[in-house]
Amino acid sequence: MSISPVAVQRDEVQRDLWTRTAAVAGRLNRAHADLVDVAVELIEGGHWGGGGFTSAEHYFVVRAGLSPAHARDVVAVARRRTELPVVAASVTAGRLSLDQAAVVAHHVPASYQRSVGELAQHMTVPQLRRAVSRHAFNVEPEPASDVTTEKSPSEQRACARPDLSMHYDRDDRFQLRYSAPATIGALVEQALKEAKDALFTAQSGGADATDGLADHGLSDVTGDRPTYADALAEIAHRSLSTVTSTSRSSHYRVYLHLSTDGAWRGGAGPIPARLLERFLTDEAIQPVWETDGRPVSVGRSMRILLPPRTRLRVIPGG
């Protein structure tokens, strides 16, 4: 079977790009090793303390233009360079990137640095993170002493309680940020995967299409394949659908305040027709029509597709 000249040319271009990428990555890794050397000297000599810098990480954010996360990685590798000689040597030789070395520095005990350092050269950063976060390293406990060792910043953050923040931005779009330890993150991850799979099964019309799926219609997941964002909404629907108490059901009902002139409450401009249609056909939201800020109609003037349910007060633009 002959190979076309176009395929041969494409293969040559890809090989050339691959070779050049590897060469540039090697130079970048060695440059990062030089930056780690600077960090070691900076930390050991305490030279970051002048000029108003609050930490070694802050020094690199200002002086090197690094992001806070990148600066933390540089400092973490520098602090443990003597504990992780194999990892440090691999970075200096250009075989290991700073991102890969930082995962080892943040999570791997010194007694495992050789095996994990060699393995890291053959893994992507996401693969390495998953591997070390799910591995229980068997470390011999140190003899008890009167001195209490402080946890490193990375360990404190890894064990910190979950935190969640949410708000509506200037375009009335809901924003959500969530952070949690790896154990809770794995639980949330599996719940999202299950909900996403349930939506996909319902969309494809499988035998278990409605098994475990909240009764809220499929208008939001038709067409494109379900995403994790769709899965989060599905989990929210499931949670609210389990509320049996009348008082709790009324307390957590979603009231959407709309103006009778077709705008958001507060005169924030017209509502996109597609968005308004979704509001009026979603049984989880009950519109409250207002004129000059006064309610004139509570409920719907059209046929409800599904029995009303939910729960939270929403005032877009208000």
> Span 110-117, mean pLDDT?
84
Q: What pLDDT shows up at residue 162?
A: 87
Q: What pLDDT shows up at residue 44?
A: 87
| Higher-scoring residue by pLDDT: 260, 53 | 53
pLDDT in tens, 206-255: 655 555 565 554 444 445 788 999 999 899 888 877 877 767 766 666 66
> Span 145-158, mean pLDDT?
62
**Cα–Cα separations (whole angstroms), residue 161 to 82, 94, 203, 264:** 31, 37, 36, 37
β-partners of residue 287 are: 256
Q: How confident is the model at residue 264 (pLDDT cuts 50, 70, 90)?
A: low
Task: Give the burial class of 222: count Cβ atoms within 10 A of its Cβ; 0-12 exposed, 13-18 middle, 19 or more buried.
Answer: exposed
3-state secondary structure the chain: CCCCHHHHHHHHHHHHHHHHHHHHHHHHHHHHHHHHHHHHHHHHHCHHHCCCCCCHHHHHHHHCCCCHHHHHHHHHHHHCCCCCHHHHHHHHCCCCCHHHHHHHHHHCCHHHHHHHHHHHCCCCHHHHHHHHHCCCCCCCCCCCCCCCCCCCHHHHHHHCCCEEEEEECCCCCEEEEEECCHHHHHHHHHHHHHHHHHHHHHHHCCCCCCCCCCCCCCCCCCCCCCCHHHHHHHHHHHHHHCCCCHHHHHHCEEEEEEECCCEECCCCCECCHHHHHHHHHCCCEEEEEEECCEEEEECCCCCCCCCCCCECEECCCC
Lowest mean pLDDT among 108-112, 116-120, 156-160: 156-160
Q: Are 103 and 120 in contact (CB under 8 A)?
A: yes
**Cα–Cα separations (whole angstroms), residue 97 to 19, 207, 217, 261:** 16, 47, 47, 58
Q: What pLDDT shows up at residue 313?
A: 42
Q: What pLDDT shows up at residue 191?
A: 93
Half-sphere exposure of 131 (CA within 13 A, CB side): 16
**Plot region of 267 (φ>0 → left; ψ -120 to 50 → alpha; else → beta):** left
CA distance 160 to 153: 10
Does pLDDT of 17 surpass 90? Answer: yes
Does pLDDT of 282 surpass 60? Answer: no
Does pLDDT of 65 surpass 80? Answer: yes
Q: Of the candidates 283, 312, 274, which has an alpha carbon nearest to the alpha carbon of residue 217?
A: 283
Q: What pLDDT shows up at residue 275?
A: 63
Q: What pLDDT shows up at residue 273?
A: 64
> Span 90-114, mean pLDDT?
87
Percent of the chain with pLDDT over 70: 66
Query: What are residue 265's phi and psi, to 5 degrees?
Result: -60, 135
Does pLDDT of 107 surpass 60? Answer: yes
